[in-house]
Each structure stands twice: as structure tokens, then as C-alpha cells.
Amino acid sequence: MRRLRLAAIPALVLLTVGLTPVGALADPGPRGYDSIPQPLPGNLPSWGFEATSTNEFGNQINFGGPAEVDHFSSVVVTMSSWGCETGRWYTFNCSTTPGSSFTEPITLNLYNPPAPGTFVPGSLIASVTQTFSIPFRPSADPVNCTLGRWFDQGSKTCFNGLANNITFDLGGKVKLPESIVFGIAYNTSSWGYQPYGYQTPCFTSSGGCGYDSLNVALSTDPTDLRAGSDPNTGTVFQFNHNPGFYCDLGAHGVDVFRLDSPGPGGGCWSQGAPNTLPAYIPSVRFKG
């Protein structure tokens, strides 16, 4: 069973477009793959790049639904923001002006599936980089919550991070095969394909750098998977520098974007016994 690192602690680019806000989504219509919980809760389990020495994170998916839905115009990914305008979530003094945010370039890579008997993606189909406006999580609420968490009035629940959706515009209708591997990539102070380093103005600020507390949100298969399927139960794809963050402890390689992990017992992203359901999967939607 995967022990999730739910917080962030102290490239490939073919198309770059402008600043893109995050926010509520209208009904997406026909979909070939959708694992985003509806309605979106205040936060979700998540995988932090800075905390886990990650460069790229994703999954292999199979598209379902109407046979004609093989062209896609956008991809929605749920992120989890633990960053604060000032203060830190882990020092319990998070303070955020409502509506404040930071910007971060994030890349979506789409690959062909692995060749039979291999554990790395096939050739790159498309790569899109957009700069998103990511909201800081709300301020700590000492009245309703403990440990510096914020309070979600709608669900009456306390959270550390804030779930928010970002939407990649594929620039038209991109034709995809029945099965693909997708990867999400972005940089942090220490990790990513081009780390920012430690001389940035935000690194020594009271709130630190928002991207160091930015995570990819995870939903649950089968509970949240309404369209499409995961062909490798209990697994994801990731590029990690630390062998300890792979289910197989790096036996099939480190510093490579690959299946985590192949073989019996390799699917430790399951919430129970390996390679069984329920299991964690990235929260994404492919929109036709």
C-alpha cells in the first residue's frame, strides 16, 4: 500500500501559451476518460514533487465511451495547493488574502503506450505547456480546525491543501489512440527537469515558493472513475530520483519516466493489497 506524501516540504515544450486561470468547470459533455470527483471536494490526497524528488507524474489510461470520441480538445488536471501567501501549512501559521495566487508553468505530455514487455512510454504524441494561476490555500482557521488547517464551509471539513482544476488547451482536436500514457511535469526549487534552485526571491520569503507546495491530486479507482479505465491496477507512471519512492525501490530504474511498478506486488498505489482496487490514480479529465 502506497504511503502518500501528501505535502510539499522545505522539458519537453512544444507549445507555450499565456496565463490561464483555474476555476469551476461547466459540464464537459461526452468524455473518453474522467477520474475527477464530482463535485470537487475542498482537497484530495496528492503527490508533491518537491517532497518526493519527482520530475514527472502520470498514468496509463484506456479511453471509453462512444467509439467516435477519439479526438480531444482539452485536458483537465486537478492540483492540490498547500502554499500560503505568508506562513506555512506545517508551522500552522498560514495566512492568505482571499483570491491571491502564484503562477507556474506546467507541462502535459501525451505518449503512445509502452511496447509489449516494456515499462516506459512509447513515442511522444503531443506536449503542451501553459502558465497557470494557482490559488494559495486559505488561511488557517483556529476556531474550526486544529493543526493550522483551513475550514471548508460547504463540507464542514478541515483541510491542509486546496484542490483546484487546471485546463490544458490542446490547440484543436488532437487524435489519440485507444490507450495512452500522460505525464504532468513542472519545476520546483529542487526537482523538475529544470529546477529553479534556491536563489529565487520566493525561496527566502515568509511563505516560501508556492510551487514547492504544489501537488498533483489523486482520486480513487473505481469510485471516481466514470469514463475510461486503468489497464494497470494499482500503478502510476513517474520519473523519480529517489529509489525509495518507487514501489519496486528502483529495481526497474530511477531517473526515468516509467511504470511504477511492473510485476506482481508492484502496484503499491492500491489502497489495500498491491494490484487491487480501490487504488489511487491522478485526477484528470480528457474532454472531446
Alpha-carbon span 232 to 267, nearest angstrom:
8
Nearest partner of 227 among 41, 72, 1, judged by Cα: 72
Residue-level pLDDT at 288: 79
Is the pLDDT reported for residue 80 higher than 60?
yes
Task: Tell me the domain boundaries of the chain.
Answer: 16-287
Nearest partner of 213 among 92, 79, 24, 36, judged by Cα: 79
Question: Mind listing the pLDDT tens digit for each residue in 158-184?
Answer: 999 999 999 999 988 899 999 999 999
Average pLDDT of every residue of the chain: 91
> How far, in Å, are 59, 161, 185, 228 from residue 269 at the CA level?
11, 20, 19, 18
The two beta strands, 236-240 and 54-62, are: antiparallel
DSSP 254: S
Is the pLDDT reported for residue 23 higher than 80?
no
Nearest partner of 240 among 46, 12, 51, 13, judged by Cα: 51
Question: Mind listing the pLDDT tens digit for each residue in 231-278?
Answer: 999 999 999 999 999 999 999 999 999 999 999 889 999 999 999 999
Alpha-carbon span 50 to 9, nearest angstrom:
7
Residue 76, strand partner residues: 167, 285
Average pLDDT on 100-124 reads 98
